[in-house]
Structure 1
Amino acid sequence: MTAVESVGEFRFECGESVPDLTLAYETYGEFDGDNAVLVCHALTGSQHVSSAPRSEDHDADAVGGSDAGKDADTGVQTAGQARAWWDDVVGPGKAIDTTEYYVVCVNVPGSCYGSSGPPSEGPDGEPWGTDFPPVTVGDWTRAQRRLLDRLGVGRLHAVVGGSVGGMNALDWAARYPDDVRRVAAVAAAARLDTQCLSLDAIARRAITTDPNWNGGDYYGADRPNPDDGLAQARRIGHVMYLSKASMGRKFGRRAAGRGAFGDAPSDPTARFFPYREVESYLDYNADSFTGRFDANSYLYLTRAMDEYDLAAGHGSDAEALAAFEGELLSLSFTGDWHFTVEQSRALAGAARDADVPTAHHVVESDHGHDAFLVEPESVGPPLRDFLADGVDGRAVRDEDEGEPVEEESRSPERAPVHASLFPG
């Protein structure tokens, strides 16, 4: 079950405060004082990282029904990819083994899966909306630290995150260098590049130009949600997550057939040209996304991702990691143009410049940014061995060693393209 914990008054990096920050989280396994692993979710992910049995050793209020699609007490929608989003990686006997590790996953502030954010109740009893303070990745890290203190967790064995969750993990190494032994940044980077910044800006504009957005004030049964804008933002995101090769293999130029999706308005020429499978895919996933996510939260979280820069306040990435005495794994995928191999290589280089034991593990894959979700056979072995043995783990292959990636860690020839949790 999802648990909800208040961590009290919280001051955000923007300088604004909330009187009572609430965090929704889940824990798996038993804590022995030295085995805690924090898993950081991606942009539109949730605390529900696994379907493994949850821990029952905390005193926070439990919230039931997280496996039922919508939480019975809070009404928070957890259907789709928000449910058990890394189930093939986290669980008993899996790469992050919940019989060995005490796994914690926290829904970040600003999101909409139970933690404080724009759709949650503010001091006046109404949803915060855009009165909620702007959030940063650093705010996520500080909120997680606050919650872990309440759970009695001091130093972490590891922090693991994918996409913007990987940025969150890197922030732990820079912000709390004595509090974590190992950091794994999967399909992540020290900052977004300009192309991704521009696409995120277009996605936000799609939301804010939807008339139903109404300046962020659309909560209430009598007010329509800005679903058109949020759906368009999601379509832009999906194009970012996939590679040319994966899109070509999955969809090609094939027509989907008339009436394949809903009642979306068509352009005047649609009667002559085909409605393609790739359009149907984008439409279907955009429609399902609007049923589970909040438009304001999307604005807040993309801003947090865009703003993150590991070097900020330090001078360089190496200086940011200089105090970290643990080990770092940077794991990248060759088909990922959202967070590229080159960006992961630069991160690994900065860590080595800071004398941090580091491995950059490159997976041959043409599935784009989604690869770390749809290829557990590629992600699992290096994560498993990194948690156990650090950068000397058997399945951890540093590209500088000139060794091939193990066969078990190769991408399958055909893997599913699905509705992922991202961008970021």
Structure 2
Amino acid sequence: MTIDTVDLGEFTFESGESIPELEVAYETYGEFTGDNAVLICHALTGSAHVARRPDAGDETAGQARAWWGDVVGPGKAIDTTEYYVVCANVPGSCYGTTGPASTNPETGEPYGTDFPPVTVGDWTRAQRRLLDELGVGRLHAVIGGSVGGMNVLDWLRRYPDDVTRAAAVATAGRLDAQCLAIDTVARRAITSDPDWNGGHYYGASESETNGGSSDSSDGDTGPEDGLARARQLGHIMYLSKASMAQKFGRRSAGRETVREEPPDPAAAFFPYREVESYLDYQAEKFVDRFDANSYLYLTRAMDDFDLSTGYESDTAALAAFEGELLLLSFTADWHFTVDQAEALAESARDAALDVAHHVIESDHGHDAFLVEPETVGPPLSALLADGLSGRPITDTAESNSSAPSETFAPVHTSLFSQ
């Protein structure tokens, strides 16, 4: 496995704006044999660090651990002894790829909000250019979850001849109004923080990084309170009612767990609940590793994505893809719902795609695709090895495959029941 960066040179974004240098951080695992390349697209605040790296203590790009380390690796569902796995950090992020925290070579200062607007399409185009640099033409598969699943869908409409198989996990063709609203409030939390300063809050230490990228805010400046609130909203969106009831309920966090500073005078009278402690802890960790401007840019890209843009419908957008598409959804996920995934599957069927929609029963909510490797891994492994015809668990509705199709009951698996 290797960790590297590549300078793709001048890059023009879909907005029409350009930057003189786009540096992309990426990781590769396994050996390329010409037809075994698998591209993995990360979720909103993920990085290229998809699998474990024992040689680096498994700490890369500011993240404590590989975000899909139980799914990708030797002997895992996405087996790096068989497949050449590539994962690239997307433009606009702060994990090594050029983004708002990066140094503008023309000014010597961080871009801040002078960085061009970023779209999911820009991510796909940058990935295509990276693969060209690596000598990878047609992909055996492209796989991604959440907004990474949107990235997968964009591959199918933008480069349909470059993909043999695809898996879009816990995703949809677009966000619904409720999620758009929550993202709006999260961004307002950042931009209303007095330390946001119009997006130009970086200290000197942040611009003196490898390739002009920063792994986080400097800890002393920037809209840390706003970013913390934005991340807390995100965590609420990623969990389900059932998972929150199971993990926290209304329980007090205990006398040994105290707030550093009560948020209001009356708070000292009331219990500091486990759910509050969890959200505060997650926020504290996040502001230490992520950039507020990147959060603004990446949520904008996710909110903007609409599979049908430029086409008459989702069906028309997918019509040119002649490979196989696997959709995975989770019953308690209200960020990207089962119904949204099924609507996407219907559009794919209308386009005569070979498609399967696999529904997993889970209490975890949207986070299920990250924390349930035992349910996510087997369908992905089967797709890579044998395509949809070899999947151990088949479609919720009939596939357009020429092979016989069968139906199945959703997988009944929950970590909370173990």
* In 1, Cα distance between equivalents of 2:80 and 2:258: 40
The aligned counterpart of 1:153 is 136
The aligned counterpart of 1:297 is 294
Structure 2 vs 1, CA of residues 52 and 106 (structure 1 numbering), >3 Å: closer, same or farther?
A: same
> Which among 361, 368, 389 is matched to residue 371 of structure 1?
368
- Give the CA deviation at 1:258: 4.8
Q: Does 1:404 align with 2:387?
A: no
Q: Secondary structure at the match of 1:207?
A: helix
The aligned counterpart of 1:385 is 382
Tell me if structure 2 keeps the 8 A contact 1:333–1:365: yes
Question: Structure 2: which amino acid aligns with 1:386?
Answer: L
The aligned counterpart of 1:49 is 50
The aligned counterpart of 2:21 is 20
Give me the TM-score of the superposition, normalised by structure 1: 0.90
- Give the CA deviation at 1:128: 1.0
Q: Secondary structure at the match of 1:103?
A: strand
- Give the CA deviation at 1:387: 1.1
> Which among 253, 257, 269 is matched to residue 256 of structure 1?
253
1:225-268 deviation digits (Å, cap 9, x = unpaired): 21100000000000000000000000010011356255234212
Question: Structure 2: which amino acid aligns with 1:412?
Answer: L
Q: Does 1:204 align with 2:195?
A: no
The aligned counterpart of 1:120 is 102
Q: Secondary structure at the match of 2:327?
A: strand
- Give the CA deviation at 1:69: 4.2
Tell me if structure 1 keeps the 8 A contact 2:195–2:222: yes
CA RMSD of aligned residues (A): 1.6
Question: Structure 2: which amino acid aligns with 1:204?
Answer: R
The aligned counterpart of 2:32 is 31
The aligned counterpart of 2:113 is 130
Bigger Cα displacement from structure 2, 20-29 vs 396-405: 396-405
- Give the CA deviation at 1:393: 2.2
* In 2, Cα distance between equivalents of 1:309 and 1:231: 28
Q: Trace 1:8-407 onto structure 2 (pairs within 5 A).
A: 8-51=9-52, 67=57, 69=59, 77-80=61-64, 83-123=65-105, 124-220=107-203, 224-258=221-255, 260-400=257-397, 401-405=406-410
Bigger Cα displacement from structure 2, 286-295 vs 213-222: 213-222
1:129-172 deviation digits (Å, cap 9, x = unpaired): 11110100000000000010010000000000000000000100
Tell me if structure 2 keeps the 8 A contact 1:2–1:66: no
Structure 2 vs 1, CA of residues 35 and 68 (structure 1 numbering), >3 Å: closer, same or farther?
A: closer
1:375-418 deviation digits (Å, cap 9, x = unpaired): 000000000001112111232321124322457xx333347xxx
Q: Secondary structure at the match of 2:160?
A: coil
Q: Secondary structure at the match of 1:291?
A: helix
Question: Structure 1: which amino acid aligns with 2:416?
Answer: E
* In 2, Cα distance between equivalents of 1:2 and 1:209: 37
Tell me if structure 1 keeps the 8 A contact 2:9–2:20: yes
- Give the CA deviation at 1:66: 5.8
* In 1, Cα distance between equivalents of 2:336 and 2:185: 18
Tell me if structure 2 keeps the 8 A contact 1:6–1:23: yes
* In 2, Cα distance between equivalents of 1:239 and 1:406: 25
Give me the TM-score of the superposition, normalised by structure 2: 0.91
Gaps of 5+ in 1: 54-64, 71-76, 416-424
Question: Structure 2: which amino acid aligns with 1:170?
Answer: L
Tell me if structure 2 keeps the 8 A contact 1:109–1:140: yes
Tell me if structure 2 keeps the 8 A contact 1:330–1:359: yes
Question: Structure 2: which amino acid aligns with 1:263?
Answer: E
Tell me if structure 2 keeps the 8 A contact 1:38–1:103: yes
* In 2, Cα distance between equivalents of 1:327 and 1:36: 16
Question: Structure 2: which amino acid aligns with 1:171?
Answer: D
Q: Secondary structure at the match of 1:336?
A: coil
Question: Percent identity between the aligned chains?
Answer: 69
Q: Secondary structure at the match of 1:15?
A: coil
Question: Structure 1: which amino acid aligns with 2:174?
Answer: R
